Structure 1
Amino acid sequence: MTKRLPAAVLWDMDGTIVDTEPYWMQAEIELVNEFGGTWTHEDALRMVGMGLWDAAEVFRGAGVDLPADAIVHRLTERVREQLAQHGVPWQPGAQELLRQVRDAGVPTALVTMSIRSMAEDVVGAIAFAAFDELVTGDEVAAPKPHPEPYLAAAGRLGVDIAECIAIEDSPTGLASATSAGAVAIGVPHMIPIPADRADAVWPTLEGRTLDDLVALLDGKRVGA
């Protein structure tokens, strides 16, 4: 029997495909310190998965006396500088699974709250045509955890969101994916993911295959 593939696989970027969270944390510390404030590791963890313009208001509250657009620009450019200096730090198994999905002809979208310029930096470092669509933080009215980013990705691909699998590393991203109606996989990185926040929680993508995605989706169909 021919296996029924997902209509699409929708990928978060920071923390899921690439381990850029330490770069973001460094950029945040530098920015807050510049304005005489203190930014702890715990402060940084609270930002994981948050939309950049929402995060900018938190930084303004921490004493960063800049407009929100300027904060987003400063943080993003500092992360891009670190990517250029140190290279793109891939998460284990992410490119391999993405390649399997692409080789099978399954549509894909990147759904990230980073802005398009940074998303394009990361996508450009992948050695194959990885994504059909990019949905970025500067292109949506409502960031994660709102469902809009994932609904926008499914809409652009022309697929039923209920037949899509989303892969995320944070509770904020998973809330966006599940509220949109996608089958959601949590792969925790910087912060833990409770089992009830996702349809499956995998410790890593290393060793995971397209068959694992198919089995998860089939299980959801049976239980529906």
Structure 2
Amino acid sequence: MDGTLVDTEDFWWEAESTLLADLGHPIGPEEREIVVGGPMSRVVDHLLAVSGAALTPERLGDLINERFVELIGQGVPVRPGAKALLADLAAHGVPTALVSASHRRIIDQVLRTLGAHNFAFTVAGDEVERTKPHPDPYLLAAARLGADPARCVVIEDAPTGVRAGQAAGCHVLAVPSVTAIEEGPRTTVRTTLEGVTTAFLRALVVEK
């Protein structure tokens, strides 16, 4: 979701960096590539280690989520090609699930822009025991869709999500937002979702 369908990675970094600066523990831009893609547990552990902020991981995570929600209160920009792809999938009757490492409150806020009707269901990072980079969220989504993971295409923008999709046995279409991602077995890289169609995704599954 973040950085894949909606352009929220800048908002996440702003929430993280400005919050720590306000608390008297500024962090440098070199941390951005490390924390991109979540999950929140990994992000807060790293930010606490490099900043020295005297907060519990749970409290820092709550504060980051609160600031992020404030920042996206007026809506978020949609990534190029995302809405066209969702519409094409719906037109072809392809069931689609939204799987994110973000918490439920974040997903519900973003769905105001994306439209909940575009997805059969959503899976949030705080609703699974192990979120990305573990395969659990994608395996759960495939099971709920009644689909073989090997016949599913996961669209991701960050290495943690790519690893989750690969571990689940899905084909991965990577559209990097901040961190570079290399092509590999069952992993295709595009610079944008523009021009990506249902036919394109089906061809990935057939070819691989």
Partner of 1:166: 154
Partner of 1:23: 11
Q: Report SS of the residue matched to 1:46.
A: helix
Give the letter for the 1:67 counterpart: T
Q: Report SS of the residue matched to 1:185.
A: strand
- 2 CA distance for matches of 1:197 and 1:183? 8
Partner of 1:79: 68
Q: Return the match for 1:63 from 43, 52, 62.
A: 52
Question: What is the TM-score when the length of structure 2 is the normalising length?
Answer: 0.93
Residues 53-103 of structure 1, C-alpha deviations (whole Å, 9 max, x = no match): 121112222222222222222111211111114x21110001110111112
Q: Report SS of the residue matched to 1:125.
A: helix
**Retained in 2: the 8 A contact 1:171–1:197?**
no
Confirm whether residue 37 of structure 1 aligns to residue 25 of structure 2: yes
Determine what percentage of the aligned residue pairs are the same residue.
40
Q: Report SS of the residue matched to 2:54.
A: coil
- C-alpha distance 189-151 of structure 1, shift in aligned 2 (>3 A): same
**Retained in 2: the 8 A contact 1:175–1:197?**
no
Of 76-85 and 120-129, deviating more is 120-129
- Structure 2: give runs of 5+ residues left out of the alignment: none
**Retained in 1: the 8 A contact 2:88–2:198?**
yes
Partner of 2:170: 182
- C-alpha distance 37-143 of structure 1, shift in aligned 2 (>3 A): same
Q: Report SS of the residue matched to 1:129.
A: helix
Q: Report SS of the residue matched to 1:195.
A: coil
Q: Write the mapping of 1:1-224 to structure 2, written as runs, cut at 5 A.
A: 13-61=1-49, 62-85=51-74, 87-127=75-115, 129-196=117-184, 199-220=187-208
- 2 CA distance for matches of 1:199 and 1:191? 15
What is the CA RMSD across the aligned residues, in angstroms? 1.5
Residues 141-171 of structure 1, C-alpha deviations (whole Å, 9 max, x = no match): 1121111111111122222111111000112
Question: What is the TM-score when the length of structure 1 is the normalising length?
Answer: 0.87
**Retained in 1: the 8 A contact 2:102–2:124?**
yes
Q: Which has the higher contact order (CA 8 A, sep 6+)?
A: 1
Partner of 1:8: none
Q: Report SS of the residue matched to 1:15.
A: coil
- 1 CA distance for matches of 2:37 and 2:115? 26
- 1 CA distance for matches of 2:116 and 2:61? 29
